């Protein structure tokens, strides 16, 4: 066991020694995560998060302030075991956002970031039941808010990887009829007024553009 601990320690030390000091200004970022519904009970139970992806450009000012612009996509599938009537399909969400945040390198190789994405999304509810009703897809326009925190480790002077945890708020309440269900599914109607939200846990990659000489 001691042998393996020493190997891991030496490997990590070698990696950190090879990492370069970076002063990022312009960056390309992409985040990939797994979303999990919260708060709105029918959304949490019925819709199963499969993917959330967000590529964006970011610029860093002096004193750790960062701003960015990007797009996002997420997909939630209908959990067929959580609906009273057999229903197949899901929710596709596409949107655009602005980002503001605070990023600080605590060492040459490690940084943290606190950010906030704010934007607009279109949510497409597609299901076999909506199709039979001639209402496929059902579209809901929404505002979008997502605070996040990231732990960043540089790989070299032009790239880094991060662990990202965020909490997304969509400005609409999920209802079973959006996927074509004709009943309330046993849920209290007051649940439908609760904001649709989900926790995202995932990873990110950042490419640092070299400054012009």
Tell me the pLDDT tens digit for each residue of 89-143. 999 999 999 999 999 989 888 999 999 999 999 999 999 999 888 888 999 999 9
| DSSP label at residue 137 | S
Please check whether residue 41 is in contact with residue 191, taking contact to mean a CB–CB distance below 8 angstroms. yes
What does the domain layout of the chain look like in residue ranges? 25-208
Looking at residue 22, what is its pLDDT? 61
Helix (H, G, I), strand (E, B), or coil: what is residue 132?
helix
CATH class of 25-208: mainly beta
Mean pLDDT per 10-residue segment, the chain (213 residues):
44 46 81 94 94 97 91 96 89 97 91 96 94 90 96 92 96 92 85 93 94 65
Strands (E), the chain: 26-39, 47-60, 65-78, 89-105, 110-127, 138-156, 159-170, 196-208
Kindly report the pTM of this predicted structure: 0.85
In terms of C-beta density within 10 A (0-12 exposed, 13-18 middle, 19 or more buried), how is residue 180 classed? buried
**15-42 burial code (b ≥16 CB/10 A, e <16):** eeeebeebebeebbbebebebbbbbbbb
97 beta partners = 70, 119
Count Cα atoms within 13 angstroms, Cβ side, for 192. 11
């Amino acid at each position: 066991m001691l042998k393996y601990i020493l190997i891991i320690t030496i490997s990590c030390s070698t990696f950190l020694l090879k990492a370069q000091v970076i002063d990022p200004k312009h960056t390309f970022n992409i985040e990939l995560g797994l979303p999990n519904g919260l708060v709105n009970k029918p959304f949490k139970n019925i819709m199963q998060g499969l993917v959330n992806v967000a590529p964006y450009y970011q610029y860093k000012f002096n004193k750790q302030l960062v701003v960015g612009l990007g797009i996002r996509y997420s997909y939630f599938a209908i959990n067929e075991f959580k609906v009273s009537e057999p229903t197949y399909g899901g929710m596709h969400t596409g949107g655009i956002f602005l980002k503001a945040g605070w990023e600080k390198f605590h060492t040459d190789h490690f940084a943290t970031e606190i950010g906030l994405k704010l934007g607009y999304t279109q949510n497409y509810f597609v299901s076999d039941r909506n199709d039979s009703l001639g209402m496929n897809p059902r579209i809901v326009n929404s505002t979008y808010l997502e605070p996040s925190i990231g732990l960043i480790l540089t790989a070299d002077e032009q790239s880094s990887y991060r662990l990202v945890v965020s909490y997304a708020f969509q400005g609409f309440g999920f209802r079973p009829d959006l996927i074509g269900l004709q009943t309330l599914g046993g849920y209290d109607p007051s649940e439908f007024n609760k904001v649709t939200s989900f926790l995202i846990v995932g990873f990110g990659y950042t490419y640092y553009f070299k400054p012009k000489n």
